[in-house]
A and B are shown apart, each in its own frame.
Chain A
């Protein structure tokens, strides 16, 4: 595999994690439009740790933890608002983080941080696989029914004896952690971070991956991020029209199939099997 293809796969992994970050929060009806902010926390934390000599995997873990803590901290006030106001608040949070890293003296400010030790692709892929497997297993537990019940009817869920507050905050923490890992991976792959890498666009696209791929299933963000990241590769001629293409594709999905490409009961395996079954 060429270095270019590896790089593409790395980008897919990062984007899947970002999409997954939005997905877990969205599963409790909390739209997180500040994924880039959590990504920045993870990236800078991991970068500074590695530069200080800490082994890369530990740095990645620290990045995840840092972002998770921020997520938990944000999760508490987030309970006070819902819907579009929560989305705007997280959006504002993302903007705040970008500004924070522009002013923090030890984070390199506008110059950013360079000299981050590079990560082996295989390590990155293993991290991605392990963490995603963890999230996948989580969606297969009794706990995930609680998450879904909160999504379907928060009020009834609390009347059914579930501590909705704890679950919602926990999902925000998880959302932060996943975006934080994406950030850490970004930092060690591109070996350079600067605030402009964690812009509004990143947060918006993270949400796009989930909405496009499907927000009712673990595989939604996986498929969404993969397709939208690899799209330009298969549409070389459309290169200069890529944003418009994505925009139109998204519009089509929103109009025709608002729950996303992958519906609820369809597991990826079933989809594949059906596809294969149809062609043979």
Chain B
């Protein structure tokens, strides 16, 4: 597939578990300053694809390129440090750490373990620079500043989802992978997330978004990639994809209303 090389580029990416090809020859790209939606029925391979990109799985064939460099098979923590951050389908926060500790952990993750072993605790991270201003400004924008000394397990669901995104942002990513960020949210909360995504896009991030909320996808994504059974079905503008009979067929029997 020719064309402008993306910030993220996959080439014939495949992975096989036993006899099952969870991801089968997928080519797609995400460019800087672009929001790409990744949709498909449950079990289509979306999260597996994310895991391949972030180094959790090593592909059985194909490659992943980030900013021109091949990254497939690299250790996840190195991929994270090189500029790819993600959130998770099921919230995976550090339940015993506070909001502030999440932020400073992610911010400081690039420093060596040895160095961190000699940095005694209260270090004021509030003024550290992040993508969206200082840590304090970022937390404020997400409504987490007042809760900064609250442990993650004590936060409401909505705040936990936001903290996941904050933690990802603290890694100074160029590429952000969001796995169902609006799951369990009401419409107002989803709108906030949509605004945030648009803001990040305008800051120059590339964003890959897995979502089941179709109006949300239509509202926020520049392009949509559809996969099913690990295979690429089609790519296009949200309105085009919505009307594509192959996409409707893939979802037949599911609970998605395409009216």
Contacts and interface: CB of A to CB of B under 8 A. Distances in A.
Contacts of B117: 138, 141-143
Nearest to A145: B105
B121 A156 contact: no
Given A159-B54, A159-B80, A140 B94 contact: no
Nearest to A153: B92
Contact of A143 (B88, B93, B116): B116
* Number of chain B interface residues as a range: 20 to 34
A161 B104 CA distance: 12
Nearest to A265: B151
B171 interface: yes
A44 to B, nearest CB: 29
B246 interface: no
B22 to A, nearest CB: 18
B119 A141 contact: yes
Interface string A224-242: 0000000000000000000
B96 A158 contact: no
Interface in A4-44: none
Interface stretch (A53-61, A164-172, A271-279): A164-172
A235 to B, nearest CB: 35
Interface in A128-166: 137-138, 140-143, 145-146, 148-149, 151-153, 155-164, 166
A142 B119 contact: yes
A264 interface: yes
Nearest to B170: A160
* Number of chain A interface residues as a range: 20 to 34
Contacts of B92: 153, 155-156, 159
Given A137-B120, A140-B121, A156-B88, A162 B77 contact: yes
B121 A170 contact: no
Contacts of A164: 77
B76 interface: yes
Contacts of B86: 159
B97 A152 contact: yes
B158 interface: no
B258 interface: no
Contact of B167 (A155, A160, A167, A170): A160
Contact of A148 (B75, B80, B97): B97
Interface in B169-183: 171
Interface string B79-90: 011000110100
Given A141-B120, A161-B110, A163-B113, A146 B94 contact: no
Interface centre among A157, A167, A216 (most CB of B within 10 A): A157
Contacts of A149: 94, 97, 105
A141 B171 contact: no
B118 interface: yes
A263 to B, nearest CB: 11
Contacts of B120: 137, 140-142
Contact of A156 (B81, B93, B108, B113): B93
B106 interface: yes
Given A161-B81, A161-B106, A148 B113 contact: no
Interface string B94-127: 1111000100111011100100111111010000
A160 B88 contact: no
A163 B75 CA distance: 9
23 contacts: A140-B120, A141-B119, A141-B121, A142-B116, A145-B97, A145-B104, A146-B105, A146-B113, A146-B116, A149-B94, A149-B97, A156-B88, A156-B94, A159-B54, A159-B80, A159-B85, A160-B80, A160-B171, A161-B109, A163-B75, A166-B113, A167-B113, A264-B96
> 4 tightest CB-CB pairs across the interface, nearest first?
A161-B109, A156-B92, A143-B117, A152-B94
Given A159-B76, A160-B80, A161-B106, 18 more contacts: A140-B121, A141-B120, A142-B116, A142-B117, A148-B94, A149-B97, A152-B96, A153-B93, A158-B75, A158-B76, A158-B77, A159-B86, A159-B92, A160-B105, A160-B171, A161-B81, A163-B113, A164-B77
Interface of B: 54, 56, 75-77, 80-81, 85-86, 88, 92-97, 101, 104-106, 108-110, 113, 116-121, 123, 167, 171
